[in-house]
Each structure stands twice: as C-alpha cells, then as structure tokens.
Amino acid sequence: MRLLLILILGLFLPPDVASQCRITDLKATNASTSSLAIEWDTQGPCFIKNYNIEVRHKNYRACPILTSPGFIDPEPKIYTVNGTSLRASLTGLKAYSVYAIAIKGQDNSGGDSNIEESHLASAETLDDRPQVQADNGLAVPGKQAITFSWTSANPQLNEATCQAQNGKMDGFFVQLYGLDPWSPEGLVKEQNLSDSTPYYYVSNLRPYSSYKLTVFVRNSNGLIDPSLPLIIPAQTQPHIPRPPVETKATATSSESIHLSW
C-alpha cells in the first residue's frame, strides 16, 4: 500500500521532489537523567539502510551562560540504528543538560545525498542528585548553643560546580547528631535551609557535650547525595554545674548520717 502511494505521488510531483526522501517529525520522549528516547517518521520514496543520529551537548542547564573552550563536549555522540526502525534510545548522556539532535539516513548504496535529514534544536535530560559538596565548615560553640557555617560555590559562576550540580540548586539539608549518651545520642534535629542561609544556629543543647552537623547540598525535588556530606564537629562549652536537687539526710546512728540527692 505504501509503495503504491509512493508511485501515485511520483506521477504528480516534479522529478526532483518525487525522488526526495525526507526524515520528518523528529521528537524527544521519555527523558531520564542520562537518556532520551527519540521518534521520527519519513516522507517520500525512502529506502533507508541505517539511520545515523548525531547528539551534541549544548549546555548544562545549571549554568547555560558558561561556554568557555573545552567546557562543552567538542565531539558529538553518534548512534546508529537499523533503517527499519523509527525510534532510538540515546543513553550515556549528562544529567540536567540540553542536547541538539540531528538524524541522517543512509541508503543501500551507502549514500545520503537523496535523504533530507531532520534536526531537533533542543532536547533536555532530567535533574539528578548533586555531585557537589559544601566546604569550609566552621563551628562557634556556646554553653548551650552552636552556630555552624560553611561555604558553597555558585554553579552559575563556577564551571566545575556547574557540571556536577546535576539540577537546580535549592539550598541545603542539615542533620544534627548528639555524640554523647547524655546529649541525647543520635539524630537530634534535621532541617531544609535555603541557599541564602549557609549557616545553622541550634540552641537548648547540653553543656560540655559533643555534636556533629552534616550538611548536604540539595537540588530541587529534595535531591541530595548521601555520600557527599560536609561534617562539622563541635563541643559545647563547660558550664557551672547545677546544685543537687531533692537532697535528703537521714540519721543512721548517733555518729553517722546517710545523705541522698
């Protein structure tokens, strides 16, 4: 049926148009953090042996303005699929990135001069856990409180951070742990912080007790990498001990007293 349609169209179209095979309707679907699926169609008398798909990395969505030499991959990825297919899976891509896609056809003779290629200017992969870590942790302890602070590179201005951000930075996630049995030991508090507050003040702690704060860079959708914490240890300052309470003295003999509190 398709061959009959091609022959009928060939009767009414100019020779140069009738002999032209076109790859059309190229679109990206089912994006993930490291892959894209693409689909397309053909128009005209197409006898395609293979499709060659050229995928070029345009920019990282975390910092689209950074385009210094060597920042973007200079060479495109090339994928080849059989001419009987009208779809392909593109794997091994970078997270939270923009790609340009071109698909070319190759006929049985190995040529492509009669096959019009198709282009997709922008296809985007999804965000992933950030592969970046907060730095320069500092703790200023008081008797019953600690002020923690740290730094984090701006992905819009730092190329290394931008490549590893894998998404839109959305602040920090912090967890405070007590390290002594009386602190109490274990997780004490946890909280999300905005990227404009690289510090954390916590009060109502035990004097002369050990704590640690773990800080994670967070992307949108609450994405963090548990393997990349900044750990900031601290110990609250000593404090004058409180006097005993519920004291009680009980005479046990004419020469002794039993004290309890």
DSSP string, 103-131: EEEEETTS--TTEE-EEEEEEEPPP----
Residues 125-152 have a mean pLDDT of: 97
Predicted local confidence at residue 68, as pLDDT: 62
Predicted local confidence at residue 49, as pLDDT: 93
161, two tokens: 């951070």
Coil vs helix vs strand at 144:
coil
Residue pair 51/103 in contact (Cβ under 8 Å)? The answer is yes
Distances (CA, A) of 125 to 30, 86, 112: 9, 21, 29
Vertex 212: Cα angle to 207 and 217 (nearest 5): 140
Average pLDDT of the residues of the chain? 88
Q: Does domain 2-124 have CATH number 3.50.50.60?
A: no
**How far is 90 from 201, CA to CA, in rounded Å?**
46
**How far is 91 from 167, CA to CA, in rounded Å?**
18
Per-residue pLDDT tens for 8-31? 444 444 444 456 899 999 999 999
Q: Which residue intervals of the chain bear CATH 2.60.40.10?
A: 2-124, 135-235
Comparison of pLDDT for 71 and 122, the residue scoring more: 122
Q: Which residues pair with 212 in a beta bridge?
A: 177, 233
Architecture of domain 135-235: Sandwich (2.60)
Residues 224-243 have a mean pLDDT of: 92
**How far is 218 from 167, CA to CA, in rounded Å?**
9
At residue 3, does pLDDT exceed 60?
no
Contacts of 128 (CB under 8 A, 6+ apart): 33, 34, 95, 96, 166, 167, 219, 223
Q: Give the H/E segment covering residue 192.
A: strand 186-193
Q: Which residues pair with 118 in a beta bridge?
A: 103
Selection from 203, 207, 227 nearest residue 216 by Cα? 227
Predicted local confidence at residue 70, as pLDDT: 58
201, two tokens: 């003040």
Residue pair 53/38 in contact (Cβ under 8 Å)? The answer is yes
Residue pair 121/103 in contact (Cβ under 8 Å)? The answer is no
**How far is 185 from 179, CA to CA, in rounded Å?**
5
